[in-house]
C-alpha cells in the first residue's frame, strides 16, 4: 500500500512524525506537507505564487524523509498525486493535528481539507486530530490509537473518495472511554477578537487563543470528544443539500428573455 501522509501543522510537526511511525509498516509512506504551519488554512490552494518543493530529513532515521512544500495542505496533496509521485497513491492520511477538528472547525481545518483533497482525487482519506489543553501530548500513544482506528476503517473497506474525520480526546484518564461514530455539531464557536491597536493607531484585532464550543447535540462530535471518546465522523465533499434539490427546483424559475437583459 502506498500512503500519502500530510498535515497542516507543518512537515516537522511531531504529530506527523507520530502518524508516520504508527502506519509505516502498512507500506510505503510518502510525506508531502507544508514547510510552514498552515493551521486554519482550510481548503485554500496557491493560485499565482510559485510552489517550492524540497526534500527534508524528518528524523534521526535515515528513511524518514519527505517533501516540504511552500504552500497549503491542499496544495501538497494536489502536487503529490497529480504531478510528482510516479506511482498511484492508495490512501491519504492527514495529521495528527494538534487540536481537535470538530464542529465548524472542520471547515477551517487544513488537516481535514488535505484529506478532502485526497477524496476529491478519488482516494480514500482519513484526517486525524487530537484535543489539546496546553499540556504535553503523548503523540506516540495518540498515534497508536489512530492506527487502531485506521485498522478498523481499512478492514471495513475504505472505498475510493471516502473521507473520514477522526478525533482523539484528551487522555486524562490515560485511555479514551471508547470509540463513537457521531456527526459534526454545527454550534457556535466561543472565541473572541481582542482589540490591540498598533503604535501607528491602526485598528488591529487578534483572535483569542482560548476558545470553546457552545453545547451541541448529545451524540455529536463536540459532545462525544468532551466526554472522552474517540470520535469517528464520515464526511462528504459534496456539500449539496440533496434533500433540498427537489423543493428548490420547484420554485417558479420560468423567465422571459427580458428578465436577463
Ligand atoms: Mn493544525
**Per-residue pLDDT tens over the stretch 3-50:** 999 999 999 999 999 999 999 999 999 999 999 999 999 999 999 999
37 CA distance to ligand 1 middle (Å): 7
Whole-model pTM over 0.85 = yes
**Residues lining ligand 1 (ion), CB within 5 A?**
8-9, 39, 97
Cβ atoms 93, 3 nearer than 8 A: yes
130 CA distance to ligand 1 middle (Å): 10
pLDDT of residue 60: 82
How does residue 244 score in pLDDT terms, banded at 50, 70 and 90? very high
110 CA distance to ligand 1 middle (Å): 7
Q: Residue 182, exposed/middle/buried by CB under 10 A (0-12, 13-18, 19+)?
A: buried
**Per-residue pLDDT tens over the stretch 112-140:** 999 999 999 999 999 999 999 989 999 99
10 CA distance to ligand 1 middle (Å): 8
**Per-residue pLDDT tens over the stretch 164-214:** 999 999 997 789 999 999 999 999 999 999 999 999 999 999 999 888 999
199 CA distance to ligand 1 middle (Å): 30
Helix, strand, coil shares of the chain, percent, nearest 5, are 30, 25, 45
- Distance separating alpha carbons of residues 244 and 45, to the nearest angstrom: 29
Q: Which residues pair with 97 in a beta bridge?
A: 129
Q: What is the mean pLDDT of residues 63-87?
A: 96
- Per residue, the 3-state secondary structure of 229-243, as one string, reads EEEEEEECCCCCCHH
pLDDT at residue 219 is higher than 80: yes
Q: What sign does the dihedral 132-137-139-140 (CA atoms) show?
A: negative
15 CA distance to ligand 1 middle (Å): 9
pLDDT of residue 63: 78
Amino acid at each position: 500500500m502506498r500512503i500519502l501522509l500530510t498535515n497542516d501543522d507543518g512537515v516537522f510537526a511531531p504529530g506527523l512524525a507520530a502518524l508516520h511511525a504508527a502506519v509505516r509498516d502498512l507500506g510505503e509512506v510518502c510525506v508531502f506537507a507544508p514547510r510552514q504551519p498552515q493551521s486554519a488554512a482550510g481548503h485554500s490552494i496557491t493560485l499565482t505564487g510559485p510552489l517550492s518543493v524540497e526534500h527534508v530529513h524528518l528524523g534521526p532515521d535515515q528513511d524518514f524523509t519527505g517533501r516540504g512544500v511552500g504552500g497549503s495542505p491542499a496544495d501538497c496533496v494536489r502536487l503529490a498525486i497529480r504531478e510528482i509521485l510516479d506511482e498511484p497513491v492508495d490512501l491519504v492520511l492527514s495529521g495528527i493535528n494538534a487540536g481537535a477538528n470538530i464542529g465548524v472547525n472542520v471547515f477551517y481545518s487544513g488537516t481535514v481539507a488535505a484529506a478532502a483533497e485526497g477524496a476529491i482525487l478519488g482516494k480514500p482519506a482519513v484526517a486525524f486530530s487530537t484535543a489539546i489543553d496546553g499540556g504535553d501530548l503523548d503523540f506516540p500513544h495518540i498515534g497508536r490509537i489512530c492506527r487502531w482506528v485506521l485498522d478498523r476503517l481499512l478492514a471495513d473497506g475504505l472505498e475510493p473518495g471516502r473521507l473520514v474525520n477522526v478525533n482523539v480526546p484528551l487522555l486524562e484518564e490515560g485511555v479514551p472511554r471508547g470509540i463513537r461514530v457521531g456527526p459534526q455539531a454545527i454550534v457556535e464557536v466561543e472565541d473572541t477578537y481582542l482589540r490591540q491597536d498598533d503604535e501607528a493607531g491602526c485598528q488591529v484585532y487578534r483572535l483569542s487563543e482560548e476558545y470553546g464550543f457552545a453545547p451541541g447535540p448529545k451524540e455529536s462530535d463536540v459532545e462525544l470528544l468532551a466526554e472522552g471518546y474517540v470520535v469517528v465522523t464520515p464526511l462528504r465533499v459534496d456539500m449539496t443539500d440533496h434533500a433540498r434539490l427537489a423543493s428548490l427546483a420547484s420554485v417558479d424559475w420560468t423567465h422571459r428573455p427580458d428578465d436577463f437583459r
